[in-house]
Structure 1
Amino acid sequence: MATSGIGNLGTLIKRLEAATSRLEDITVAQSQSYSQSGQPGAAALAGAAAGAAPPPPPPPPPPAPVEEVKEDPTSVKAWDASVAGALAEYQELSGRIGNPVAEQANIVVKTFAEQRNLILLAASCTKPAGGLQSPAFAKLLQPLQAALMEVIEVRDKNRGEKRYFNHLSTVSEGIPAVGWVAIEPKPGPYVAEMKDSAQFYANRVIKDYKDTDKTQVEWCRSFIKLLEALRTYIMQNQTTGLVWNPQGSDPETFKAGAGSAAAPSAGGPPPPPPPPPVADLSAGSSAQAAPAAGGMDAVFGQLNQGESVTKGLRKVDPSQMTHKNPELRASSTVAAPTKAAPPRPAAKPASLKAKKPPRTELEGNRWNIEYHEDNSNIILDQTELNQTVNIFNCKNCTIQIRGKINAVQMANCQKTSILIDTLVSSLEITGSPSFAAQITGSTPTVLLDSNDSGQLYLSKTSLDTEIIAAKCSAINVNVPLEGGEEGEFEEYALPEQLKFTIDKSAGKKDKIRSEIVVHTA
């Protein structure tokens, strides 16, 4: 018993010695690991972590500092000094008038902002290869063109707004002035032309509101002032066209990394998923989709054809009639019929026939302007003294005739306006309801025949003009107001009623006497 206990004790001591030796070995290994890796227990920790999950990724580096925006070039500073004040005044007066004038003004501000961006780009970049006719420059113009079209669309969608249509037309006729950036070598006169086009409609607004609402008059003058400020800026800073920087960068590079562009936020949403795959539009799929075109719409469409609804039916051959062929009834099959021809479309009424194409051509000494519709940018500037202008069958157009020519005739036009400088012979308007004609120079005679509703604007140099009217109604002559500002007119209506009397004592030639009927209160 005692011998067994001593044996067990000896065994226990040996085991303790072995454990102590093992602990010493571990201590030595840890010391060596510390001296090699610089971190205590690196080897042991590495072994312990062999089966653990990988550590989380390190945090992302901080964003790079945004490059500070450089000072604006001289051309941009001059733009702000010349245009910004007039633009703010125009926008403020538009806000007082309200929509749709205010809506259009906000887009005008956007258009001028795009113009400023283009001037800034040109001052910092080289001119695109190929010049103003290159696709690269056309791409740079796209934001400006889009804003310009938005301004014009406001007028087009508000044609029924009679109260403000002249306001919207004033801006729509003048806003193309921002297109000076694509004109070389003299963009200044182009802006002056657009200002004159806007002045034509601005004069109408001034005439309508000069005695009732001064805000409307101030609004007209503010927009004309804006165009004049643009012209002044061009004549002082961009005389021969948009100025580029020969030592600048590439326009595409500037556009991608411009300091003025808004930087995207770091925490924005992920990009949208890719679009779904395009559906297979093969013959099989189109055949399945064909029945969907039916329904009640197709039924009513067939009924609206009237008597022609039966034209698409085919005559059944006697060999295919089951009541005449018992063998067909027995087999329950009928020979496949030939494909019936589709019904022919009904003939178009005369009102839907193709219209003649618009034409502006010089034939000999006569300019022919015909069949234009909704065109407010018809300009004749290459004219000569011996030429005449014939305007025929135009609708809702504005025509500018520059220079001194022989005569102008307008016939069968509707809602057409003409702006004339000087005529040697006469201006003749026949069968053209709702016309408007303005003479900025002089003309000896104006002939009006069979016109219903018209406006004639004379200048200070054309007050000696003779006006001869026959079978006309609602014709007003607008004369410059004495002592008034430019664009202020005084309106006079041409008389429409005459009184005729017979003078018994007069000779045969003077038997009939006529006088104008004057209505007094």
Structure 2
Amino acid sequence: MSESTAPLGETLDSILARLAKLESAAGIKSGTPAPAASASSSSASSSSSSSHPAVAAYDKYLEEKLGPFVAACDDLGDRTKVLGEAVSEAWRAQGAFLAVAVKCKKPSDQTALGPFFKPYQAAMAKVNPGRDDWEFHEKTIKESFGILQWIMMPSKPKDYILEMIGACDFWSNKIRIKYKKTEPKQIAWCDALKGLLNGLAEYVKGFHLAGVAYDMTGKGGDLPSDAPAAAAPAAAKPKPKAPAAAGGAGGLLAELAKKKSGDSAATGLKKVTKDQQTWRKEFSGGDANPPPAPKPKPKPAAASKFGASKKPLGPPVFQFQDQGMKWIVENQTADTNPNGVLTVEVTDPKHQVYIYKCENATIDIKGKCKAVVVDTCTKSNVLCDTCISAVELVNGKRMKVQVRGVCPSIAIDKTDGCLTYLSAETASLTTFVTSKSSEMNVSWPDANGDYKEKAIPEQFQHKLDVESGSISSDISDLYSH
């Protein structure tokens, strides 16, 4: 500040100091204490300290895990918003049950829990999977409602929850594969749901390890005949409004103070010279930012003879996931294993095997397993013993599948070239479900042990009956011999 303006600065400082004293004095006179807030805070603290640890922990779990999942549902649109509301209702209803259970004695008959399942059933009724882009989302949520039945488990409810999480993963993994590189919000939705389910498993492990924590003091009463009302979700806190600018002399002096201190709206702005003003003839354009050069479009990966991309596979993966009871086999080839064969030793019928993006590989699954999913594989061989549920092939090329034991169902979807070998034990039991696939054949042994082979129809003849409005479908004549 120059010597000529120094007196003005001192006068301004004096005026601002006096104004601050006046405002402070006015605030003291007009301000009043707020005993209600203190009482409310004290009451809330007292209530929190008197709550059961299991109930308080469940409320904290909902705050940390349920909120992010509901927000992820809202981000995806109206269809998933309904799913978030249904899950919120069911999970909060379970919280209401746990709050009652810790004050009541353990029921002698599990039928006493029947009324507490009505809120779950009402929430589940809102989820109706359809045949569209949201089918996998709705099926995932439908499976997740089964997790809430852990309160019926007399012991080790966490193990039951982990098993059910595996069933949810079966559908959510389809979402991950479909949107892995295109929509991060879809992956975030799957992650939020997985966090919600895993969080419940950890909560149950900490507070209900041997079943629901009922009142063991002998002072608790019986469970009520009606389910208690669930607590409503906490309302979002309103954002504080920005203080309005003071008017009159006070506002003027405040702005003068900002300018004096250098903290004004114009602070940090660069001075624009004449040669930088686009409307002047002196404009040279020297400081103007040139438009960004267009990025070259990536060339599509060349396709091989069998339709697989020549782009190299990622690192091979072979691991077992405890959560979900699943074997993961990815990016395997004939060169990644001794003798070109990868053996999966299944030790529990609850295990699933997920095979993804393998080329020229042979995967041998030993032992009885729950299900086998083969996704985006090329020229690979999959051998398995007994499969309890189904073997599913998706997006495959030139695949071979052999069932040495029993498999009730084989699903083939978007696969070109699939040869299935069935054992004599399962040949008359296995059913095939196919869609958008071609060059499918099945081979089985006859009574003499000689293998026969038959093509699975991929072409059909459809005829419309105008009077009845129905369509009749028959296999094409190509498969009549």
- Give the TM bin, normalised by the shorter chain: 0.3 to 0.5
**Higher helix proportion (structure 1 or 2):** 1
Query: Normalised by the size of structure 1, how large is the TM-score?
Result: 0.38
Query: Normalised by the size of structure 2, how large is the TM-score?
Result: 0.41
**Pair member with larger Rg:** 1
